[in-house]
């Protein structure tokens, strides 16, 4: 892949569902995910997302799946949703071989810009499996803070994966979206 950092951003539509599912699965599950650093293969088996979940995120009012492409190739995606004065960020994936190339930082920045400028959100929040210390540290370097609030992992619901350990839970991360960050 050429070193051109030009990314085109657009909202996903129904025809994009198969590509988004394939990208998210490749970034988090199975051997293919080990080419990147965001793999969850050591803590979860099974699926990461399904067609219905992606379709619902695309169709829901106040929600969208943001795609990052270069030369027509899908490189990254993220789900953003308006939740009151907060934006929610999730379903974030970058092609495993392109992780750590700066694409993820650009997608996160675009997502923050959109929730701030289009929805007037003052904060962005997300949940991260709290044993994923390296991933949490990545978000902290981008201004997110650990809130100390947790949510249980949905054990027994295979739509979210099959846990390989019994201590999984989500931690809420949050960032204030200052007006100066829009520049």
* pLDDT in 10s for each residue of the chain, 183 residues: 444 578 999 999 999 999 999 999 999 887 888 888 888 888 888 888 999 999 999 999 999 999 999 999 999 999 999 999 999 999 999 999 999 899 999 999 999 999 999 999 999 999 999 999 999 999 999 999 999 999 999 999 888 889 999 999 999 999 999 864 443
- Structure confidence at residue 33 (pLDDT): 82
Q: Which residues contact 151 (CB under 8 A, 6 or more apart)?
A: 127, 169, 170, 172
Rounded to 10°, the helix 17-28/51-59 angle is 120
- Structure confidence at residue 4 (pLDDT): 54
- Structure confidence at residue 183 (pLDDT): 38
- Structure confidence at residue 181 (pLDDT): 44
Is residue 2 assigned to a domain? no
Indicate the number of domains in the chain.
1
Q: Give the CATH number of the domain where residue 28 resides.
A: 3.40.630.30
Three-state DSSP at 182 gives: helix
E-state strands within 20-163: 44-45, 63-70, 73-83, 86-94, 123-129, 145-152, 162-163
Is residue 1 assigned to a domain? no
Domain of 45 in residue numbering reads as 8-182
């Amino acid at each position: 892949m050429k070193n051109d950092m030009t990314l085109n951003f657009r909202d996903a539509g129904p025809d994009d569902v198969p590509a988004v599912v394939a990208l998210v699965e490749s970034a988090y599950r199975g051997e293919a995910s080990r080419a990147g650093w965001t793999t969850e293969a050591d803590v979860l088996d099974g699926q990461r997302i399904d067609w219905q979940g992606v379709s619902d995120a695309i169709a829901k009012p106040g929600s969208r799946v943001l795609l990052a492409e270069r030369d027509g190739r899908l490189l990254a995606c993220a789900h953003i949703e308006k939740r009151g004065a907060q934006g929610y960020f999730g379903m974030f994936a970058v092609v495993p071989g392109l992780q750590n190339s700066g694409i993820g930082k650009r997608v996160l920045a675009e997502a923050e810009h959109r929730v701030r400028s289009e929805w007037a959100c003052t904060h962005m929040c997300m949940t991260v499996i709290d044993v994923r210390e390296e991933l949490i540290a990545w978000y902290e370097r981008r201004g997110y803070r650990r809130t100390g609030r947790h949510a249980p992992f949905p054990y027994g619901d295979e739509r979210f994966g099959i846990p390989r350990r019994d201590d999984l839970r989500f931690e809420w991360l949050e960032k204030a979206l200052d007006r100066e960050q829009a520049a």
